[in-house]
């Protein structure tokens, strides 16, 4: 694979993860601010940008581990396309 193909693939994965975080957050009835505070962020701004991938913001594995615990979902479920 070329670097360009790998970049495209990784961006697609980040988009899937962001959409799934938002979906599970909403299913559990959490606001962005509530979830951000639960995982140790001081505001919901970064979480909001990561959910919509604004300015290429995204979740790292530490964020995902914390979010999975708070929302009580397996971390692997964030990576499943819907």
pLDDT of residue 82: 72
pLDDT of residue 44: 92
What span, in angstroms and rounded, lies between the C-alpha atoms of 8 and 12?
6
User: What domains does the chain contain, in order, with CATH numbers?
Assistant: 3-77 (1.10.260.40)
How would you classify residue 22: left for phi > 0, otherwise alpha for psi between -120 and 50, otherwise beta?
Answer: alpha
Instruction: Give this prediction's pTM.
Output: 0.93
pLDDT of residue 65: 98
C-alpha pair distances (Å), 71 with each of 5, 18, 23, 35, 76: 33, 14, 11, 9, 13
What is the DSSP code (8-state) at residue 40?
A: T
pLDDT of residue 80: 94
Q: Which residues of the chain have pLDDT under 50?
A: none
pLDDT of residue 11: 96
pLDDT of residue 2: 98
pLDDT of residue 14: 97
């Amino acid at each position: 694979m070329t670097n360009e193909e790998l970049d495209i693939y990784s961006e697609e994965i980040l988009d899937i993860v962001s959409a799934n975080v938002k979906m599970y957050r909403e299913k559990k009835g959490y606001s962005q601010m509530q979830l951000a505070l639960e995982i140790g962020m001081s505001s919901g701004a970064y979480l909001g940008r990561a959910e919509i991938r604004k300015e290429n913001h995204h979740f790292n594995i530490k964020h995902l581990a914390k979010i999975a615990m708070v929302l009580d979902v397996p971390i692997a479920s964030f990576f499943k396309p819907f």
